[in-house]
Structure 1
Amino acid sequence: GAKNAMIHFYIATSELHRQFVIGGTEDEQIEIARDATQQIKDGVSDFPDKVRLEFSPEEFTDSDLDYVVKVCDTVVETWGPEGDEKVVLNLPATVERRFPNEYADMIEEFMKRQKFSDQTIVSLHAHNDMGMGIASTMLSLKAGAQRVEGTLFGHGERTGNVDLIICALDLDYLGIDTGLSFDNLPQIANLVEEVTDIKIHPRHPYSGELVFTAFSGSHQDAINKGYNQKEELAEHFKGWKIPYLHIDPLSLGRSFEKFIRINSQSGKGGIAYILSQEFHINLPRWAQVDFASKVQVFADEVQRELAAEELFTLFKKAYMQDDAPILLQNYWPVPSQEDPAIILGRVKVEYKGEDHELNAEGNGPISAFVHAIKQLEGVDDFVLEDFSEGTRGKTADAEAVSFVRLKHTDGKHSFIGAGIGSNIDQAAVRAVCNALNALLKF
């Protein structure tokens, strides 16, 4: 019932197999190949649907090339392809015994010597005994081969066959359209694992869990910077170009959430990347440096990789101490009627268990708040050293997020606070309170 069947037969052509396994002379083997081809041809002559032929000189890379050409020419001549029909000549590295350049040289030389090049398709079939199956295949394609046989994820006998997914994606990387899409590669990998009951190695190219993952601090920093400039980089390099990511992981159905893993070796760039991608919080550089040291200490204590949620919990614990001794209840900043450039601030806070209502003015909402809060007893030993603001999204109603760094008047210690609010003013004053709480607990 097959609409387009292919019959594949093979004969081992190496001296090892011919003399010590099968037995017989070269001429006897050629006759066996001729007879087998004729039997197949006779057997399919009455089939209504198209049947194609594939022949493999097994142990091609361990065989005499002139002899292999004779065997293959005999098969093609006996089959007698008509019209645009082509016989597939599959030239296998049955056991990998040669380096990739030698396999490619043999493929190129075979194609020069065979009689029926217009009526054949030269196919590759590399094994991976020496760990060079992919290199052998790619180099032999450059030598002129037209077809590749292999397996998914390199399954196969002994060390396996060449991985067709790696081959296809390597070609895609080189700009060669294979007509294949791998935007669901994780699902393909899961299915093959389920069927074979063999796990894919986490560092298996393209498919492994860790192949797009960086643990090194400097690598994480480079990925973070590259990702934040990916449009400019794509325009400059005329295509995908990100440090340490040779292909766009999204094209393989991979999400960015697992590309940077956080442990005690992680640097500020990777940590900032996770907070930005997962929680839409963009740390200013001076906060990145401070937070990275806290993350590294914690990761050293627990001796394992940190999940994104753990990172966010640690961030809130470090910079959002909004419980005591200062608890902000409300803040109303309004422009002065006499001079709109002056902001009048009214503050309601709980301080050391007691409610306070404070009023002050300043040249902006934060300035007015700082002047007001300094009226509390024991809350005047600081200056506002740094301030940063942003949003947790690109919509009009996105939450505001602010960071402040307060310096103690002793000049030796600084304290960072973060605040999230419905607008930038509310986020900023919460950040000031949280930094003050850290200072007052010092």
Structure 2
Amino acid sequence: MDKQQLVIFDTTLRDGEQSPGASMTREEKLRVAKALEKLRVDVIEAGFAVSSQGDFEAVKSIADTIKDSTVCSLARTTHVDIERAAEALKNARSARIHTFIATSPIHMKYKLQMTPDQVVEQAVSAVKLARNKVGDVEFSLEDASRSEFDFMCRIIEQVINAGARTINLPDTVGYGFPAEYADTIGRLIAAVPNADKAIFSVHCHNDLGLAVANSLAAVMQGARQIECTINGLGERAGNAALEEIVMAVRTRKDIFPVETHIDTTQIVATSRLVSSITGFPVQPNKAIVGANAFAHESGIHQDGVLKYRETYEIMKAQDVGWSTNKIVLGKLSGRAAFSSRLDALGIQFDSKTVMNEAFLRFKELADKKREIYDEDLQALVSEIQVKEDGIEHIILGDLAVTTKTGQLPNAALSLTYKGEHYRTSADGDGPVDAVFKAIEKLINSQAELKLYLVNAVTEGTDSQGEVTVRLEKGGRIVNGQGADTDILVASARAYLNALSVLENPDRLHPQLGGV
């Protein structure tokens, strides 16, 4: 059968960023956008331009840079939102404005405090305005899965007449059930007179663990765009995971009447990038991108795979970007080889100064580790890239931690902060607590520690420990990352990294709601 295109609309940079602690700087958003472009995502929702100056600048930067994907900004059905989105997108090679309004009775009555007639009028007005700004307009019916069918038919018909060319039906609160949700999509496509003039889209949340199932079921009923995120990132329980959607369609070609343009070999690299920037680790048993996704512990499974891979593997690990190859770099390797490997991993530095620091850190690591893996490089550069974002970094000097059974651990350290050098020490309930208290003794940030997470980057006792620290102050939530073979050094770097980001006014957690 002839395959139709399934449009992959990635909202990692907008809906994904609404996860508490997942906010990104403009430079980080641009880095992820470039990875999504390399992944060959059709539409990149770059942000919510009106939500803050930082988000406006991020959308603008992505629109100015990305050439092979459509760049989209979210906007409520208000004049100011649409004007701001259009301004941010004005230099995009391919631009889309995505405007939305709630359509469920509960949202219209209690949140919007508008009548259905007022909602329709505002939606049509917004679509017309957006259509005068860009040629590609998407309209979303927020909380569609709890909206009344006849009202959805009415508003969809009118916004299509007004110029919307994509109609998105979000399962905003993750309430949908696959058969029920898909049936609604199919009925709408059949009932709306001008449905053939628009692509129908789905945007599913994972509150009941059904986001991917709902999305794929909708495809079987005529949906031709899926809105999703890398690693299933998103507020509450997350969104439909891009990697699961894409590989389901690719693996079950016998079922799905669609295909995507995604370069699946870029999936793992993009997953790692998003994970390192947001500080949200990927669970080992996560489908497609988890560390155990292609691992076999059972003897029966191992025997079967060795005899014939397809006995227990329905996909090739290499098809999604996994590789068992170790990089052949060491302390004698030169800058050219180091730079070449970073390019292959999709890691780039605009600043020579930051590149030089990364190379020096690599040399230091090579002195500590006999074998260096791609994962080591990903961890090594994650905290260094904060400096490239133009953030004044608080630099760790030396660190000494003393711990003895029956005594409080003590941490003594030196810092460089705002050009000045400081030394201090503090006791703590444990060695990590002592390190953090020593830092706070100097910085006095008054931030609250929300998360402390440690992951081993690779196998073996010489593995780097990658630490994520999440801090909150005044409603702002930020992440910091640090990596080192010494877990206490990694912890100190992660904490200082988070403090550095906390002082950056451009990193604002988006609070405006969306679809």
- TM normalised by structure 2 equals 0.44
Equivalent residue, structure 2, for 1:21: 111
* 2:157 is the counterpart of 1:73: yes
Which amino acid letter does the alignment assign opposite residue 182 of structure 1? T
> Quick one: which of 142, 145, 166 aligns to 1:61?
145
Q: Could you tell me the percent identity over the aligned residues?
A: 30
Matches of residues 131-280 of structure 1 in structure 2 within 5 Å? 131-175=209-253, 177-227=259-309, 242-255=310-323
Using a 3 Å threshold, how does the CA distance of structure 1 residues 245 and 3 change in structure 2: closer, same or farther?
same
* 2:99 is the counterpart of 1:3: no
Using a 3 Å threshold, how does the CA distance of structure 1 residues 98 and 189 change in structure 2: closer, same or farther?
closer
* In structure 2, C-alpha distance between the alignment counterparts of 1:199 and 1:96, rounded to whole Å: 22
Q: CA deviation at 1:51?
A: 2.4
* In structure 2, C-alpha distance between the alignment counterparts of 1:166 and 1:143, rounded to whole Å: 19
* In structure 2, C-alpha distance between the alignment counterparts of 1:120 and 1:197, rounded to whole Å: 37
* In structure 2, C-alpha distance between the alignment counterparts of 1:35 and 1:250, rounded to whole Å: 48
Which amino acid letter does the alignment assign opposite residue 19 of structure 1? K
Q: CA deviation at 1:250?
A: 2.3
Aligned 8 A contact 1:249 1:256 in 2: no
Q: CA deviation at 1:178?
A: 1.6
> Quick one: which of 119, 126, 135 aligns to 1:51?
135
Q: CA deviation at 1:24?
A: 2.2
Using a 3 Å threshold, how does the CA distance of structure 1 residues 112 and 214 change in structure 2: closer, same or farther?
same
Which amino acid letter does the alignment assign opposite residue 198 of structure 1? F
Which amino acid letter does the alignment assign opposite residue 94 of structure 2? N
Q: CA deviation at 1:9?
A: 0.8
Equivalent residue, structure 1, for 2:87: none
Secondary structure of the corresponding residue to residue 220 of structure 1: helix
Aligned 8 A contact 1:38 1:78 in 2: yes
For residues 17-43 of structure 1, what are the alpha-carbon distances to aligned partners after superposition, in whole Å with 9 as ceiling and x for unaligned? 11111112211211121222233345x
For residues 144-168 of structure 1, what are the alpha-carbon distances to aligned partners after superposition, in whole Å with 9 as ceiling and x for unaligned? 1111111111011111111111111
Between 6-15 and 188-197, report the one with greater CA deviation: 188-197
* 2:174 is the counterpart of 1:114: no
Aligned 8 A contact 2:171 2:203 in 1: yes
Secondary structure of the corresponding residue to residue 226 of structure 2: strand
Using a 3 Å threshold, how does the CA distance of structure 1 residues 88 and 226 change in structure 2: closer, same or farther?
same
Equivalent residue, structure 1, for 2:350: none
- TM normalised by structure 1 equals 0.50
Using a 3 Å threshold, how does the CA distance of structure 1 residues 179 and 78 change in structure 2: closer, same or farther?
closer
Q: CA deviation at 1:116?
A: 1.1
Secondary structure of the corresponding residue to residue 207 of structure 1: coil
Secondary structure of the corresponding residue to residue 92 of structure 1: strand
Structure possessing the higher radius of gyration over alpha carbons: 1
> Quick one: which of 123, 129, 139 aligns to 1:33?
123
* In structure 1, C-alpha distance between the alignment counterparts of 2:131 and 2:320, rounded to whole Å: 43
Higher RCO (CA 8 Å, separation ≥ 6 residues)? 2
Q: CA deviation at 1:109?
A: 0.4
For residues 392-424 of structure 1, what are the alpha-carbon distances to aligned partners after superposition, in whole Å with 9 as ceiling and x for unaligned? xxxxxxxxxxxxxxxxxxxxxxxxxxxxxxxxx
Secondary structure of the corresponding residue to residue 167 of structure 1: helix
Using a 3 Å threshold, how does the CA distance of structure 1 residues 109 and 219 change in structure 2: closer, same or farther?
same
* 2:175 is the counterpart of 1:97: yes
Secondary structure of the corresponding residue to residue 265 of structure 2: coil
Between 202-211 and 29-38, report the one with greater CA deviation: 29-38
Secondary structure of the corresponding residue to residue 37 of structure 1: helix
* In structure 1, C-alpha distance between the alignment counterparts of 2:103 and 2:183, rounded to whole Å: 18
* In structure 2, C-alpha distance between the alignment counterparts of 1:3 and 1:31, rounded to whole Å: 31
Aligned 8 A contact 1:52 1:87 in 2: yes
Q: Superposition RMSD on alpha carbons, in Å?
A: 2.3
Secondary structure of the corresponding residue to residue 91 of structure 1: strand
* In structure 2, C-alpha distance between the alignment counterparts of 1:63 and 1:53, rounded to whole Å: 22
* In structure 2, C-alpha distance between the alignment counterparts of 1:94 and 1:158, rounded to whole Å: 11
Matches of residues 321-400 of structure 1 in structure 2 within 5 Å? none
Count of paired positions: 236
